[in-house]
Amino acid sequence: MNIRASLHDAIHTLLNLPLNPELPIWIDAICINQEDDEEKAVQVSRMGDIYRTAHQVLAWLGPSGQDSDLAMDSLETLSKALPPIFTPPQFSQLEALCLPKRDSPVWSALGHLFRRTWFGRLWTFQEAVLASDLLIICGRKTISRKILVTVTKELKRLSLNVLCVQNQPQMEIHEDGFYALEVVNFVRRALNEEIELEFPDLLEFARAKVCSDPRDRVFAMLGMAERVSRTGYRLHIRRNPPKTLSRPTSIAQRPA
């Protein structure tokens, strides 16, 4: 079986983590036959339930690089230091507030971390929203979703996220981990509070996500659309969809 280099790196990293050896590991790229459209149609419709019921979901951001170890090590400290601050501080006050000073390499390290492609990919959006316990892994460093979301939310609230992107190219929306986690947090709250999201709303979120096949935007969002998935829609995957296909919803069909 051929696998991508990123999955190869992820598997080798998993072997060094203290995971429960009695629990099986499910990896979609391996457990779903990517060459069998019928199998993909069945398994893709189950992915939402897999993420919901998994003991733990592991999110692989990639190997360490661009000071990612520094960024990961700083997240827990920031998650405790930022919430008590009431208003956006002056940059000259940062050290007094137990935060890295303005020219600290921590800020640029965080900026690079939040540009990782994991934040912009479509299928990782589904796992980030639905997993009851999400562990984020970058290199050999790990952090919980709760801490990561807290830090991004607080950095934006205090207008300190600008320090993370200073001297870096402007972020496109699919590169913006701050925005991606904000959307994840919003959708999770809606689902946990049983607020029914309309399917077109989910598709709108999916528009900014990167995927290899545009039809995947429908498949991934169906896993989060509680009302739609309960009505028994079937998914049909075809390698060569008709050229007249203009709306992605036309390939999600409900049985008569």
Q: What is the DSSP letter of 89?
A: P
pTM for the whole structure: 0.80
User: Using only C-alpha atoms, what is the Rg of the chain?
Assistant: 20
pLDDT value, residue 256: 37
- Between 186 and 44, name the one with better pLDDT: 186
Residue 231 has pLDDT above 50, yes or no: no
Phi, psi of 197 (to 5 degrees): -80, 135
Q: Which of 185, 145, 160, 156 is nearest to 61 (CA)?
A: 145
pLDDT tens for each residue of 67-103:
999 999 999 999 999 999 999 999 999 999 999 999 9
Distance CA 152, CA 157 (A): 9
Beta strands in 92-196 (DSSP E): 134-138, 141-144
- Between 218 and 196, name the one with better pLDDT: 218
The tokens for 128 are: 């980030």
pLDDT tens for each residue of 111-160:
999 999 999 988 888 889 889 899 999 999 999 999 999 999 999 999 99
Q: What is the DSSP letter of 3?
A: -
Distance CA 103, CA 91 (A): 10
